[in-house]
Structure 1
Amino acid sequence: MQSAMLFDLPALQGAPVAPMTKKPCRPRKVHASVPLEPSTTVPDELIADADWIVVNSSGGKDSQAMLTHVVRRAKALGMLDKVVVVHADLGDIEWGGTKTLAEEQAHLAGVRRIEVVKAKGADLLGRVLVRFGKLKAKAEREAIDAGLDPAAVKVAPAWPSSSARWCTSDVKRGPVWTLFTRLTAELSHLGRPVRILNCMGQRAAESAPRAKLAEVEIDRSASNGKRHVTVWRPIHGWSDAEVWREIARSGLPYHPAYDWGMRRLSCSFCVLGCEADVVLAARLRPKKAAEYAAMEVQVGADFKHGLSMAEIIRRAAELEKEQGPVRRPPTGTAMAGFIGRSATALYLRRRDLVRNRLTLAS
């Protein structure tokens, strides 16, 4: 098991920290060409107006349903060549096989261009430790400026949270924006800002904050004088049952983590995940859970506010003692809970046919 304790941060070893003058934050200027509002919210018009249609795929059920939904509409318009599927590879913190599955789903959907992007540098646990070092140094500087003992400072939590989702910007949004830069350069001959339609699988039913998101909006932070980025959330109003019906219709495989009982995919230990999910993840990935617990000790803060990984591991151990090891459920268990066993059986046959057709074509 790779230890998260190998990072060498001078600030954590008692090295002196030089006083730093805080620079005033400058408001980010948005290029004058970037529109305030989208020119349309009609799906087919969004597709027709775009130069690139970027479908963000985590490999999870929502992005999978969104993928086939968008591809079907683009194909009907004769514009499938505009579609690019991008998967942000999170490495060992995501469920095994996620990257491969996201690529397979895109291939089976008929998309020819698939991009896998990955953030440079440390993984999530390494970033937590680096962030802790920066927060500690900042707290010590502020204490010195105030004439207080820097050794007694309280350091802000270094873990991501609902109010500090730096993990999303660091390991997902940033690498995807790098792809936007490459796609923009490929169409520089147009002599105007390249229009990118950025498709996200966020749904209103997931949370109150996501319910407030617009189905279509201009992403002014991702836009500039060379590219205009419009965010489209094609399945924003869908229910869980509608998502599973779309997956059943498409015949594309979904991640087995859902059959195990997980409600979310992506990071196997998500700070926004419910207690049942993270406890189940600790039963399925005990070594990775131990790494998170070790990092809690290093940074002096719980993985989730009010719920430590140490406690999660303890609860997982109790369930293991009471119930025994987690047993692999039958394939289709998650889907059957929403659309029924008969429809799920039809899906499983369709999935095998779809996979076989791809194998024969290859």
Structure 2
Amino acid sequence: MQTATLFDLPTIQAPPLVPAAAAPAKPKRRKRIVHASVPTAPWTTVPDELIRDTDWVVVSSSGGKDSQAMLSHVVRRARALGMLHKVVVVHADLGRAEWGGTRELAEEQARLSGVRRFEVVRAAGADLLERVKLRYQKLRAKAQREAVERGEDPAAVKVPPAWMSSAARWCTSDAKRGPIWTLYTRLAAELAHLGRPVRILACIGQRAAESSNRAKLAPVEIDRAASNGRRHVTTWRPIHGWSDADVWREIARSGLPYAAAYDWGNRRLSCVFCVLGCTSDLVNGARRMPELAAAYADMEVTVGADFKKGLSMREIIRRAAELEAEHGPAARPPAGTALSGYVGKSEAALYRGRLALLRKQYTLAN
């Protein structure tokens, strides 16, 4: 009897390998192609040369002190060059998210400074607070979908914060930058007969003293994202190196009206409740606009996250209520209160005289 060898044993076929289900490929982000005509760097950084070389000087105005000081500074230079007709002031209307009367204030600042063209742009669809809810719904749907793909319980997912933050300033792109770009499109179309890309000088009131990130910004640079074959946009930050005192001195010199929120004690003005605002500004907003504060608190419940990391709107409202209970409703301070802290009471009195004269002259002329 012969002993079977290894080579005499029957061959056993291994079952075919079944590849594991591959995770769905993430859609590739479309690469933005910048038109070949768009320069990579500005040909000059000299302010007067920038104004002479451009077709439009577009001043973005929030109605706040920085954009106001920038406006009067830019207008003075443009007027001296005989090019005031190029200046357009644009206000991105934030609806209920901004202090009441802000759009009207921005327009008055433009008119009294001598600018005849004032434009208002606004994002289509939902307002800023409603966009928080829409963003939350998208983030939750994405988190649940990814949980299912991993074989996990979608009901137990943790949804990323939907609120704006210093790291996620989607509010700026949605409510300001995008709508302002639509104005650039219209301005370029008005000068299409030039047969070349229209040159737009976009003036922004960002200052290095505001934050470390803004300190890194260049005073002049090409905005390649906003540029295309029909328009070339150069960003100019005219007051980038200015201090708070410089800003208030320019306001005093110009005589243009400034937002009453500063006299109430606010350090900055944009949205009533800005995630970048200091606590005192937020509490001040809750005292002046309690209905809006309540709407933000309700949205915190909807999206399951505090308005600001480490500081909920509920806490802001509580602090505001404490101040109301202790001091009663605050009386509006005299106009010029904030200004006098930087230029003195006598100069603030002169400023109020300049403002009254500007308003009278404008009324008589129009």
Flag whether TM exceeds 0.5 (same fold).
yes
Q: Deviation string for 1:265-300 (max 9, x for gaps)?
A: 120110110111101111111111000000000000
Q: Kindly tell me: are residues 20 and 178 of structure 1, through their superposed partners in 2, closer, same or farther at Cα, counting changes over 3 Å?
A: farther
Q: What corresponds to 2:117 in structure 1?
A: 113
CA distance in 1 between counterparts of 2:149 and 2:224 reads 37
Q: What corresponds to 1:53 in structure 2?
A: 57
1:313 to 302, 310, 317: 317
1:155 to 159, 171, 179: 159
Shift of residue 227 of structure 1?
Answer: 0.8
Task: Give the letter for the 2:192 counterpart.
Answer: S
2:192 to 162, 180, 188: 188
What's the C-alpha RMSD, in Å, of the aligned pairs?
1.1
1:321 alignment partner, SS class: helix
Q: Deviation string for 1:152-195 (max 9, x for gaps)?
A: 00000001110100000001000000000000111111111111
Shift of residue 26 of structure 1?
Answer: 2.6
1:119 alignment partner, SS class: coil
Using the size of structure 2 for normalisation, the TM-score is 0.93
CA distance in 1 between counterparts of 2:339 and 2:46 reads 30
CA distance in 2 between counterparts of 1:141 and 1:71 reads 53
CA distance in 2 between counterparts of 1:306 and 1:151 reads 25
CA distance in 1 between counterparts of 2:40 and 2:68 reads 30
Task: Give the letter for the 2:208 counterpart.
Answer: A
Q: What corresponds to 2:216 in structure 1?
A: 212
Q: What corresponds to 1:290 in structure 2?
A: 294
1:353 aligns with 2:357: yes
Which deviates more, 315-324 or 239-248?
315-324
1:269 aligns with 2:273: yes
CA distance in 1 between counterparts of 2:150 and 2:60 reads 46
CA distance in 2 between counterparts of 1:220 and 1:145 reads 38
Q: Deviation string for 1:127-164 (max 9, x for gaps)?
A: 00000000000000110111110000000000111010
Percent of aligned positions with the same letter in both sequences?
73
Task: Give the letter for the 1:101 counterpart.
Answer: L
Shift of residue 22 of structure 1?
Answer: 3.0
Q: What corresponds to 2:333 in structure 1?
A: 329
1:302 to 284, 287, 306: 306
Contact 1:20 1:141 in 2 (8 A): no
1:143 to 117, 141, 147: 147
Contact 1:284 1:326 in 2 (8 A): no
CA distance in 2 between counterparts of 1:186 and 1:350 reads 36
Structure 2: 5+ residue stretches without partners: 1-22
Q: Deviation string for 1:6-51 (max 9, x for gaps)?
A: xxxxxxxxxxxxx986311132111111111100000000000101
CA distance in 2 between counterparts of 1:148 and 1:31 reads 45
Q: Kindly tell me: are residues 253 and 334 of structure 1, through their superposed partners in 2, closer, same or farther at Cα, counting changes over 3 Å?
A: same
Q: Kindly tell me: are residues 20 and 308 of structure 1, through their superposed partners in 2, closer, same or farther at Cα, counting changes over 3 Å?
A: farther
1:235 aligns with 2:236: no
What is the number of residues matched between the two proteins? Answer: 344
Q: Kindly tell me: are residues 294 and 188 of structure 1, through their superposed partners in 2, closer, same or farther at Cα, counting changes over 3 Å?
A: same
| Runs of 4+ with >4 A deviation | none
CA distance in 2 between counterparts of 1:21 and 1:227 reads 36
Task: Give the letter for the 1:165 counterpart.
Answer: R
Using the size of structure 1 for normalisation, the TM-score is 0.94
CA distance in 1 between counterparts of 2:306 and 2:54 reads 44
Q: Deviation string for 1:227-285 (max 9, x for gaps)?
A: 11000000001111111111111111111110000111120110110111101111111
Which deviates more, 23-32 or 125-134?
23-32
CA distance in 1 between counterparts of 2:133 and 2:363 reads 44
1:72 to 57, 73, 76: 76
Q: Deviation string for 1:191-223 (max 9, x for gaps)?
A: 111110000000111111111111000001001
